[in-house]
Amino acid sequence: MVDVVLSLDQLHALAVNVLTSNGLGAPHAQAMAKMLVAGQRDDCQSHGVWRLIGCVKTLRSGKLNLDAKPSVQDISPALVKVDAQYGFSPLAFELGSQMLVEKAKRTGIAALAINNCFHFSALWPEIEVLTDQGISALAMVPSHSCVAPAGGTKPLFGTNPIAFGWPRPDGMPFVFDMATSRIARGDIELHQRSGSKIPNDWAIDEDGQPTDDPERALKGAMLTFGGYKGSALSAMVELLAGPLIGDMLSRKSLEFDDGAGVAPCHGELIIAFNPSLFGGTDFVENSHRAEALFAGIVDQGARLPSQRRFEARKRSVEHGVALPAKLHADLLNLIET
Amino acid sequence: MVDVVLSLDQLHALAVNVLTSNGLGAPHAQAMAKMLVAGQRDDCQSHGVWRLIGCVKTLRSGKLNLDAKPSVQDISPALVKVDAQYGFSPLAFELGSQMLVEKAKRTGIAALAINNCFHFSALWPEIEVLTDQGISALAMVPSHSCVAPAGGTKPLFGTNPIAFGWPRPDGMPFVFDMATSRIARGDIELHQRSGSKIPNDWAIDEDGQPTDDPERALKGAMLTFGGYKGSALSAMVELLAGPLIGDMLSRKSLEFDDGAGVAPCHGELIIAFNPSLFGGTDFVENSHRAEALFAGIVDQGARLPSQRRFEARKRSVEHGVALPAKLHADLLNLIET
């Protein structure tokens, strides 16, 4: 089968159609579609429109609040909390991030805590919303328990991504978004879907042994990246985006799911930094310092994170995106008529 | 030669004597000694009293302000900056951390940026000062350029440690303190000092090839932990504890050193989180959530970070610390009479 090429607008309309026809309120559908199309546009397949399949499963599960009205609470000069009311996260982020930026501009550092959200997206689109406004940001979320701590054999942590961004005056921001597991869970699921093996250092099976079988890996436990150091960072994500903000650990989130296999429900923490307040009067010099770091990376032939995404974005904006025909057909089949 | 056993008070007095006899002002000497003795006490050799040798080299270099009076600036409800005035960092931290805790208690999140400090200590003693006051904290510093970015071969980053702590109501806090390099530079220096080989995945030589020779590793470049993910985190440390707060990158810090080989001069960022404000009314439930995470780690036979340190601390408080006779003699020789 040949690929189906769609413009970004066409893909957005398709995603909105899939979501609203399955009962999701329009503002949520718009915010979700924006996020998923951004993933597809940047050739970030594991967070692209393929996720609509899981979104629809979540919508049909009855667990999600289809018309949730996120409620924004102004806690302190540096802290905003949003209760997502058991809806999807992107709309809650859109609403809360406005106040987050205002606070960071005034106080230098500020935090946005989102509670009770079903989280189903990459973090870098959120980070880029902030870097676009001159704000540096650090974000983290737990997920469903599927990763063993270093030295252990049983799932405890989620894939627990950490994302960070730094605004650059000219061109694209410095952005990374990485699971603290060896690999994103979506990558194992894509191998499962295509029937291919995985490298045997990604995960262990139910008996705690290395495995190259995506099925057994998904039943066993994934590993953290970088051994005990990645494991420590994963624990930090659990604590800061869980108990700190009054929300669930990945293990509790999985219990809450109760076998439904839908998007994980949990909290999210985003910390925003305002370089112009932090750095005092030396904003231009500090900006040069940051650019010197990036030059020091690329001048020795190493890559900045997200470069492949940005290149894909340029192509997609110009030429649209090519969906495998089977995926396109699967998405059309999700539309309720 | 047999070891020399000293009580913690005796070791503290020795450290103060070494430092003040080399011209360091008394408040700085007390703060530095506290930090170095804490390292020795916790059997964290690479940050123990062995570092007095480097401290004295720094004191004698003429680069350090021996009687620096750190100046504390109250920037916003959530931000405090301390200009260490080119003195050692511990006294600047002691002064700034008081305001940091007050701010975090009121606003939920707050940051302390320290500028122009010579930094020569582990981060966990600072983290523990904050967890002792019920505050969770994340700290990071650049250092001297000695680590290659993933995909590169030349030193750019410092060892760029990240440390994190979470207060626990009963017993010791959850604390980790890790270099974003494979290993602390001090560990390679200890191998150099003892004439032993290093594992060949710690560093590359001047030609970009793996090496087991500590000399060549120190002349070449260390590697980050966890490949490109550790490299991304190391870049984040450079940005947040450098350009964000108006201070030097690790590469500039090395240039500033200008071959003197003294303690790195740079900035430091500490972010403080107040769980009782962030978590709202559910402080007790949130504390139980965190404890459930720790139980989930230890119940499957994995270890919490810092456990070995805490065990060593208990032994040292009871029995004192044993210094190799050669190190003890070297330290005595540092005392100027």
Nearest CA distance, B41 vs chain A (angstrom)? 23
Q: Which residues contact residue B70 at a Cβ distance below 8 angstroms, ignoring those fewer than 6 apart? A: B82, B83, B84, B85, B87, B91, B92, B95, B96
The nearest alpha carbon in chain A to B239 belongs to A290
* CA–CA distances in Å: residue A331 to residues A15, A59, B39, B207: 8, 14, 58, 52
How many CB atoms are closer than 10 A to CB B61?
15
> What is the distance between the terminal CA atoms of chain A, rounded to a whole angstrom?
26
Which residues of chain B make contact with A231, given a CB cutoff of 8 A?
Answer: 302
Grouped pLDDT means (10 residues each) for chain A, 337 residues: 92 98 97 96 90 93 94 98 97 97 98 94 95 98 96 96 95 95 86 92 93 94 96 98 96 91 92 93 89 97 95 97 96 94
Distance of alpha carbon A6 from alpha carbon A17, whole angstroms: 15
Written as six digits, the tokens of B144 are 């001297």
Q: Is A85 helix (H, G, I), strand (E, B) or coil?
A: strand
Q: Is A301 on the interface with B (CB under 8 A)?
A: yes
Residues B147 and B209 in one domain: yes
Does B47 participate in catalysis according to the annotation?
yes
Q: What is the pLDDT of residue B263?
A: 87
* Contacts for B129 with CB less than 8 Å, ≥ 6 apart: B93, B94, B97
CB neighbours of residue B295 within 10 Å:
11
Distance CA A122, CA A83 (A): 20
Confirm or reject contact between B199 and chain A (CB < 8 A): no
Judged against a pLDDT cut of 90, whether residue B121 lies above it is answered with no
Contacts of B230 in chain A (CB under 8 A): 225-226, 229
**Interface touch A136/B240, C-beta < 8 Å:** yes
Interchain contact B273–A (C-beta under 8 A): yes
Within-domain flag for A107: yes
Q: B171 CB contacts (<8 Å, ≥6 apart)?
A: none
Domain check: are B106 and B55 in the same one?
no
Question: Do the domain assignments include residue A149?
Answer: yes
CA B150 from centroid of its chain's CA atoms: 23
A291 inside domain? no
Pairing of strands A79-88, A109-118: parallel
Q: Do A14 and A105 share a structural domain?
A: no
Of A77, A245, A305, the CB nearest to B232: A305
A202 interfacial to chain B (CB closer than 8 Å): no
Q: How far apart are CA A202 and CA A182, in angstroms?
A: 6
Q: Do A144 and A257 touch, CB atoms closer than 8 A?
A: yes
- Which secondary structure element, helix H or strand E, spans residue A186, and what is its range? helix A185-194
- pLDDT class of B133 with cuts at 50, 70, 90: very high
Among the partner-chain residues A107, A109, A251, the one whose CB lies closest to the CB of B271 is A109
- pLDDT at residue B134 is higher than 90: yes
Interface check A276 vs B, CB under 8 A: no
Closest alpha carbon within chain A to B275: A244
- Phi, psi of B166, deg, nearest 5: -130, 125
- Residue B88's pLDDT is 95
How many residues would you count in chain A? Answer: 337
Q: What would the pLDDT profile of B205-250 be if each residue is shown by its tens digit?
A: 999 999 999 999 999 999 999 999 999 999 999 999 999 999 999 9
Residue A253 lies in a domain: yes
Instruction: Give yes or no for A166 touching B (CB within 8 A).
Output: yes
CATH number for the domain that contains residue B145: 3.30.1370.60
Residue A317 lies in a domain: yes
Q: Tell me, yes or no, whether B51 and B78 share the same domain.
A: no
Give me the pLDDT at residue B1, please.
66
Same-domain check for residues B30 and B98: no
Identify whether residues A121 and A182 lie together within a single domain.
yes
The dihedrals phi and psi of A137, each to the nearest 5 degrees, come to: -150, 150
Q: Which residues pair with A321 in a beta bridge?
A: A6
- Cβ B88 vs Cβ B76: under 8 Å: no
Q: Report the distance separating Cα A166 and Cα A156, nearest Å.
A: 31
Residue A101 lies in a domain: yes
- Nearest 5°: the CA angle A302, B211, B252 is 50
Instruction: Report residue B38 as tokens.
Output: 């804490």
Q: Which of A109, A178, A251 sits opposite B296 (nearest CB)?
A: A251
Residue B206 shares a structural domain with residue B90:
yes
Sign of CA dihedral A192, A197, A199, A205: positive
Of A8, A273, A54, A256, the residue nearest A166 (C-alpha): A273
Helix or strand (DSSP H, E) at A51: none
Whether B97 and B114 map to the same domain: the answer is: yes
CATH number of the domain at A54, please.
1.10.1530.10
Q: Which structural domain range is residue B208 located in?
A: 71-278
Q: B208 to chain A: nearest residue by CA?
A: A300
Cα distance between residue A136 and residue B244, in whole Å: 9
**Are B202 and B84 found together in one domain?**
yes
**Is A46 inside any structural domain?**
yes
Separation CA A77–CA A195 (nearest Å):
51
How open is the CA angle B58-B60-B62, to the nearest 5 degrees?
85
How many CB contacts within 8 angstroms connect chain A with chain B? 232
Question: What mean pLDDT comes out for the span B263-292?
Answer: 93
Same domain, yes or no: A254 and A329: no
Distance CA B10, CA B7 (A): 5
Answer yes or no: do A272 and A310 share one domain. no
Q: Give the number of other Cβ atoms within 10 Å of residue B216's Cβ.
A: 16
DSSP helix/strand/coil, A98: helix
pLDDT in tens, B38-74: 999 999 987 899 999 999 999 999 989 999 999 999 9
Residue pair A157/A149 in contact (Cβ under 8 Å)? The answer is: yes
Instruction: Say if B50 falls within a structural domain.
Output: yes
Q: Which amino acid, residue A69?
A: K
Mean pLDDT across chain B: 95
Domains of chain A: total: 2
Give me the pLDDT at residue A295, please: 97
What is the ipTM, given to two decimal places? 0.96
Catalytic residue positions of A, numbered? 46-47, 187
How high is the pLDDT of residue B120?
A: 81
Nearest residue to B136 (alpha-carbon basis) of A142, A237, A149: A237
Residue that terminates a domain, selected from B239, B263, B278: B278
Q: Which residues of chain A lie closer than 8 angstroms to B148, CB-CB?
A: 300, 302
Last residue of a domain, one of B261, B278, B295: B278
**Same domain flag for B168 and B193:** yes
d(CA B251, CA A262): 47
Sign of the Cα pseudo-torsion (A231, A233, A237, A239, in order):
positive
Higher pLDDT, B186 or B235: B235
